[in-house]
Each structure stands twice: as structure tokens, then as C-alpha cells.
Amino acid sequence: MQQSFVKSEGDVREASLILEGIVCAACVWLNERHILQLPGVISAEINFSTHRARVRWDESRIQLSRILHAVQEIGYLAYPFDTNRQEELFRKERNTAIRRLAIAGLGMMQVMMYAVPVYLADAGTMTDDIQALLRFASLMLTTPVVFYSAWPFFQGAWRDLKLKRAGMDVPVALGVGAAYAASIYGTLTGSAEVYFDSVTMFVFFLLTGRFLEMSARKRSAEAAESLVKLIPAAAQRLPGWPATREEETVAAVKLTPGDHLLVGPGDSFPADGTVVDGESSVDESLLTGESHPVDKHAGLEVIGGTMNLSSPLVVRVDKVGADTVLSGIVRLLDRALSEKPRLAMAADRVASWFVLALLVVAVLVAATWYWIDPSRAFWITVSVLVVSCPCALALATPAALTASLGRLTRMGLLSTRGHALETLAKATDFVFDKTGTLTTGEFRLVHVDCLRGNREEALAVAAALEKGATHPVAKALREASCAGHAEASEVRNMPGQGVTGQVAGRAYRLGSPMFVAPDTSAPPAPGMTLLALADDAGVVAWFGLGDELRPQARRLIDDLKTLGVRVHLYSGDRHDNVAALAATLGIADARGGMLPEDKLDAVKVLQADGAVVAMTGDGVNDAPVLAQAQVSVAVDQGAEAAQAAADMILLSSELSRLADGVRIARKTQAVIQQNLAWSALYNFAAIPAAALGYVTPWMAGIGMSLSSLLVVLNAMRLSGQRDRFGSNGTPGGVELPAPPNASKKR
């Protein structure tokens, strides 16, 4: 069962779960802390917007069933992630919320009908029995509002108190419970004020705010959920292929590698595979953000979740379940959504201490007003408890991050780390690799100069040495070789330099001229990447490979400069090739012939001078420098080592998405700061106003609900379906400041 949602790496397991019962950011904090206390749990991160949890544990120390049981012990339910289950859970939560809201609304309206005559009647015109009747009627109508509509607040408060902590439901439950209890006392004795109208209005407005907030969070998380829904539920399997094309319908989860499928026009591929028959075009826009279809024919790979457009294809299944590209993307996105940046962690810490401080303030306010005017002390204290719940503070960062990460995912720029957006917004310097990053990386053999032997023999040796390598240079050499497949042994890869190995009993070296033949003058090869093949007797052949500039490379560099970002080009290619490309793109700092350690040292120098470096690369040799940079981007076609070290992955071939990412990252930081500033300003203004008696409990309920809703709506501005950039190159035309140190002279 775990194969569908658990990823294994030795004894370490990673699972994606759904949590039921999450209603506020405090619930997230509570579950994360409780799970992390379990022996054997390595990490636990929960996304408040999607209610999805990412948990990693040591299988030799704890089992998944124990983790699920631990969640249940504190009043929540955890399930293995499933798209249908998530939709069912959301519908259930939404329907329950509507019912609670309806009861609260009806109760509020009726109670206000009974309260208005009391407010408007002149002194002495309403008899005691009529007033008592109105109070008892209000009590009957308020009771279901308190014990049904407001019940989640009492549940959350009781759960928090059992665990000896003060969550956000504690002040709300205290306010509602105290006002209701005091109103009952006043009704039974006829000697005190009643607050039934305030209680019902407060509950109604608070539930309204939470319902709207829940709907907004659902919309902001749609990008992440849409990826999971791409895989179809069923597939057309060809059990007798190639002898027969007889079809059978099977569940997609039952497919295994080696199965053959028939995918018709308009259908999505249920798994990763390879086309074995047919020609068609495929829509990969939901994964890469690119609108143009991609041609597919026999021998080419297809990705599960993409859509076949024009003609039927027969596909051999290569990867299923958690091993597919789409599952990997979803796991990375989950990690980015669940990991908390520094601002979010700081806000969580402030919110947890804020509740304790609020309770102390409420006690002081109650004591002060009891000394000044005992008749006003109670409802003023209730107003203080209600008006200052720090929900908006806790929502400020996760709401904005969820919206912006969803937008970037639709664009084809996938964030894999929680800090990526925060750091990208502060980037002052962008460092680019050349081959496969600013250029297409689709090399083709342009020239061969054989010093010994013939062309076919030299290419056969080169292809043998590069067999199994994923670098574009290796692919070009293999495609150019028409001779029979030679076998190489003792092959060693030297990142950034080349390879060595034995072919037909002879030792060969293939790679850069400085690595293969440092004492030999390389022939001129303007605009080409030059490789040398040598044996113990010297150079056997020179290979010249051509590479094309990516169509949007120049636009990207210009956009980054407009944003105040300095651009650098660090490449292992020859100096003259790098210089030619830099001149074309207008990059001042361009260096060629760099080994991986040279790139690493150059980035460290930039960082030592105060730069926040964003590194973009694609090869194995880029992995160390990607890890060193404050934020790093790997292109999707690159090596797995580069992607593993990167904080973001560019799924699209459109390089300009990187500049769009910088714009959105900066706007995200601006929105987060706006949200935090609003939350702080609201509390600084609302608490003194309530303490001075200017805010009634029902007004406090409206204020608290509107503050949370305003934060979520402000964050939703980041989740626009289309990128509309103003004349200054920023989203919506908003003028954003340049990052720190952007104008610093070196």
C-alpha cells in the first residue's frame, strides 16, 4: 500500500499525508512539534494551505502506523495522500462550515430581533416579565450557536490546554464561553447585563472570516493540486503487444514497468514511458509552462500527466507511482510549500508568545476596569480577548508563499526549498553556466580532424568512452558515431575535464585540450567547443562541436540588468567561445576554462564581497557551486546531481521565466511585509481601543475576521493566472526596490 505514496532511500522513508482537523496556523505548529518528538522521525513539515504533510522517518526506529496514531492522539486524523480523498475532505469541511455558518447567521438575526426592543425602549416602558421573556428566547437561540457553530473553537482550546500551551483558539473560546456564561447568569437572576447578541454576532463574523479564508486558501493551492490530478485513473493496456492490439482497461495504479499502453488523442499518459509506435504531438504545458506542443515519435520519452494531442501512440511503461517525473515534481513542491522561511518561523514564534501576552493583558484590563467601573469590566475584557487573536499574523507568510509558489509552478519554475523565494528576492548577482544553460546544450559534431587513424574509428572510441553519460557533448558524439559499438572499461569521469578509459586494450583520454593534451597546441576552432581524443602516443583526433544560443537568453540578461542584478558567465568552455557569447549577450564578467573548483572559488569571492548569489547550471560539474550559492536554479534537462543541489528547477525552456521569478519573488516579499505590517498595526490599534472600552465584543469579532481575510486576499494577488508586467518590468507596474548591495562598487 505504501508504494503509492512513500518514497524510500535505504531505511529513510518519506510520505505525503493529508491532515484532517487543521483550522489555523497553531494546528500546524502543534502537529509538527508533536510528530518531531517521536523517536525516529527526521522531519515533519505541514502546509497550512493544502493541509498536506511531508514526513521523513527512520523505518528501523519507527513505523508509519505509529506516526499516524500519534497524530490521532492529539485530536487530528492523518491519511495517506490521495487526490480524491483530499477533495472529499475539502467538500466535507466546506459543507460543515456552511452548516455552522448558517446556524450562527440565523441565530444572530433572531437574537438581534429580541435585542433591538430592549435597546430602543425608554426606561420604565418594558416590564420585567417581557424583558425576561426576551432574554430566555435569546438564550434558547444562542445555545445552538455556542454548542454547534462555535464548537470547533472550544475543541481547539481544550486540546491546547491539555497539551499545556496557549493556541489561537484559547482567547476566542474564553471570550465566547465567558460572555455566554455571564448572560445565562443574568437571565436566571435578572440582575445583570446579557450579551447574547454580541456572542452570536461574534461567532457569525468569525466563522464568515474563516470560511472566506478557507476558500481563498483552496484557490491559492490549486496549482499544486492540479499537478497531482494530471494522472488519469484508468489506462488502456495492450497485454498481447506486439502480436495483437487487443485492449483492456485497467486502473493506472496497477501498471508495472514493461506494460504497453494505447494512448489516444485527448488522453493523458498514465505513467512515464517510451513511444514504441506512432507519431503525435504532446501538450506539456501544465508541467513546463510552455504552450507549444512537442512532437513525439518512436524512441522518444513521454512524461506521465502530459496530454496526447493528435494521433494514437503505443507507449512502453518505464516508471510508475512514486518513481515518475510528476511524482518527483509534486514531492519537491510539497517540500517547498511545507518548509518555512525565516520570516514564517519568526511570525510563528511571535504568534505563540503573543497569545500568552494577550491573556496577561486581559487579566490586567479586567482588574483595572473592575476598580474603575465594575459594570463595564466584563464586556471590555471579552472584547480584548476577541479583537487581538493573532490569526492574521500567523497567516501573513504562508498565504503569500502558497499563492506565489503556485503561480511560479504554472510558469514552469519549480521551487524545491522553502527559502528559495525569500533568497531569490534578495539576489544581487546571477551566475550562469554556458553549455546547456544559456545555450541549448544540443551539440552537433561540426568538425573532425584526425591525426591518426580515420574518422569512424575515432568516433567509435569517443562514443564508447561516453556511453551512459548524460552530458549533451556525450550525446552528440554518440549520435555522430556510425561505426559498431565499441566497449570501454575502467571508465572514470573527471567533472569539468573529461573521461578516461580502456578501449580494445588501449588507454584513452577524451575531454578538454588542457586535460587531454596540455602540451599540445590546439587548432583554431572559432565558435566551437573543442575536444581532444588522445592515447599514450599523443592526440588521436580533434572534435569541434557547435552549440546554439537559447532564443530568450538575450532577453533574460537584459531583464536581469533592468532589475538591478549583476550578471556573470562562468564556464568550463574555451576562453574565446565564452568571450564570443558574452559579447553577444552583453555580459561584462565572463570567464572560460574554469574547473568546478574555480567556479566555486569565484562564487565565494562574490559572497565575501557581500553579494547574494543566484547560480544557474545544468551539469554534474555545477553541483558544488549550486550548493554553495545562496539560491540556485537547475535546468530540467540537466544532470540529476545538479537538480539535487538546486533550490529551484526550471522546467520550461523559456529562460525569461527566471527574470519573471525574480519579479514575483520581490513582490512576494513586499506582500509578506505588507501583511506583517498590517497585522502588527491592527493589533497595536485594536487592543488599546478595546481596553479603553471603544470596541464591543461583536465589533471585535468583525475586526478579527476582517484582519485575517484582508491578509489572505492580499496574498491572493500573487496567484494571478497570467503574468501582467508593468512598464518598469515588475508585476502590475508596482515599483519594487533593487536588492541590497545592487549598486555597490567593487
Reduced to 3 states (helix: H, G, I; strand: E, B; else coil), residue 464 is helix
For residue 177, give the nearest of 204, 153, 213 by alpha carbon: 153
Q: How many CB atoms lie within 10 A of CB 126?
A: 14
For residue 612, give the nearest of 439, 738, 436, 438 by alpha carbon: 738
Alpha-carbon gap, residue 237 to 607, rounded angstroms:
54
Is the backbone of residue 733 left (phi > 0), alpha (psi -120 to 50) or beta?
Answer: left
**What stretches of 247-386 adopt beta strand conformation (E)?**
248-251, 260-263, 272-277, 280-283, 294-296, 301-302, 307-308, 313-319
Task: Name beta bridge partners: 212.
Answer: none
Q: Vertex 401, ends 400 and 406: CA angle to 5°?
A: 105
The residues annotated as belonging to the active site are 433
DSSP state of 443: -
Report which secondary-structure segment, H or E, holds 634: strand 631-635
CB distance 427 to 612 below 8 Å: yes
Our measurement of the distance from residue 91's CA atom to the centroid of its chain's CA atoms, rounded to an integer in Å, reads 23
Alpha-carbon gap, residue 8 to 321, rounded angstroms:
12
Does residue 242 have a cis bond before it (omega within 30 degrees)?
A: yes
Alpha-carbon gap, residue 545 to 529, rounded angstroms:
5
Alpha-carbon gap, residue 559 to 482, rounded angstroms:
43
CB distance 729 to 563 below 8 Å: yes
Alpha-carbon gap, residue 278 to 312, rounded angstroms:
7
Alpha-carbon gap, residue 322 to 3, rounded angstroms:
7
Q: For cell 498514465, what's the residue?
A: 270
